[in-house]
Amino acid sequence: MTTRDIVFVAVGVVTALSALLSVTTKHVVHAALWLLVSLGSLAGAYLVLGQELVGLVQLLVYVGAIVVLVLFALMLTRAPIGPHAEIDTPWWQRAAGAVLGAATTALLASLLLPLLSGATVDLDAPAATTPRIAQAVFGTWVWPFELLSVLLLVALVGAFAVSRLVLHREDPAADGAVRRAEGVRR
């Protein structure tokens, strides 16, 4: 049990607890906020593991962008403020979910713990420093990296297109009003 072990256990407990809270809380907005905490502390776990670049990207992208997006989505879908019992599925589905979640945990643990049981790593001389990661990204992984940028563009355009779909069923009167307004604008 080294110092890093202890720090990791602390950060990991925070991560796991906040994750658990984020999936069990009755407040819709709190779920997103607990997710924020969980992801942030996971960034800390990355730091403890010696991957400061990954941890920073985790902070930037996940905490800075994705959670904000989730919050926006919650607001745009008129999420209720305050505790709300209706955000959960029926009890038997939750029970099944708990069983499946426990099974997943047990499976992964039974697989990973024996695999990693004796493994230790000396992080004072880390194998993957940031310069080396940068070399790998722009050397070995340069084509997947470029493909990723294309993927991001496609996702951007796709999200834009999907979100602007107008459905007839939605509200004929409002639709008509929109059309009339457009007609006036024309």
Partner 1 sequence: MSWIVRMIVVLPALAGLLGLVMHRRRLVAAAVAVSVSAYVMVLGLIQWVAPARAADIDSLGSLPLGGGLAVPLHLLSDRVSGLVSFVVALVVLAIQVFTVWYLRDDPRYGRFAATVSLFAAGMLLLVQAGDLVLMLVGWEIMGWCSWLLIGHDSERPAARRAAYKAFLVTRVADIGMVVGLVALAVRAGSTDLMAVLTASGHDTALTVGLVGVLVGVAGKSGLVPFHDWLPDAMEGPTPASALIHAATMVAAGTYLVARLFTLYAEHDGARLLLAVLAALTMVYAAVLALVQTDIKRMLAYSTLSQIAIMLSALAAAPAELGPGAGLSHLLGHAFFKALLFLAAGWLSVLGGATALAALRGRLRPTGALRWATGIGLASLAGVPPLVGFFSKDTVIDAALEGTGAGSVVVTIALLLTVALTAAYCTRAWLLLDTPLAVVPPTGTAAGPAAGAADPAPGSAAASPAVSPAASPAVSPVAQPDPVVPAEQVAVVTVADSADDAEVERVHAHGHAPITLSAALVVSVLAVLTVVATLFLASLRGGVHVGVLTALVSLLLVAGAAAAVWVAGDRGRSDVADRVPGPLRDRAVRGFGADTAYVGIGRAVTALARLVVTLDRDVVDAYPRATAVVARAAGRVGERSHRAVPSLSLLGLLGGVVVIAILGVTAWR
Partner 2 sequence: MIHLALPGALVALLAGIGVYGVLARRNAVLVLIGVELILNAANLLLVTAGSRPGAPFSAGPVLTLFVITIAAAEITVALAIILVLFRRAGHIDLTAVPDLTDDPDDPDDPGDLDDEVESWGTPDGADDGTDDGTDEADDADGTAAPTAARSGEGAA
Cβ proximity of 52 and 46 under 8 Å: yes
The two three-digit tokens of residue 92, written as one number: 């038997």
83-112 residues in contact with partner 2 (CB under 8 A) are 86-90, 93-94, 96-98, 100-109, 112
Site for partner 1 contains 140 (CB under 8 A): no
Instruction: Report in angstroms the alpha-carbon separations of 25 from 22, 31, 39, 172.
Output: 6, 6, 16, 37
The two three-digit tokens of residue 161, written as one number: 């297109």
Which of partner 2, partner 1, none binds 81 (CB below 5-8 Å, type-dependent)? none
Cβ proximity of 49 and 123 under 8 Å: yes
Of the candidate residues 111, 137, 153, 154, the single one contacting partner 1 (CB under 8 A): 111
Site for partner 2 contains 59 (CB under 8 A): no
Of the candidate residues 32, 40, 44, 63, the single one contacting partner 2 (CB under 8 A): 32
Minimum gap (Å) between residue 174 Cβ and partner 2: 10
How far is it, in rounded angstroms, from Cα 89 to Cα 71?
21
Which of partner 2, partner 1, none binds 176 (CB below 5-8 Å, type-dependent)? none
Of the candidate residues 107, 128, 157, 177, the single one contacting partner 1 (CB under 8 A): 107
What x-and-dash track marks residues 72-91 binding partner 1 by CB under 8 A? Answer: -----------------x--
Q: Which stretch binds partner 1 (CB under 8 A): 19-27, 50-58, 104-112, 152-160?
A: 104-112
**Structure-token match 């019992």, residue found:** 85
Cβ proximity of 38 and 22 under 8 Å: yes
The two three-digit tokens of residue 167, written as one number: 């459905």
Site for partner 2 contains 27 (CB under 8 A): no
Of the candidate residues 83, 136, 146, 180, the single one contacting partner 2 (CB under 8 A): 136
Going by C-alpha positions, the residue among 45, 25, 35, 103 that lies closest to residue 65 is: 35
**E strand or H helix that includes residue 126:** none
> Which residues bind to partner 1, rule: CB under 8 A?
89, 93, 96-97, 100, 103-104, 107, 110-111
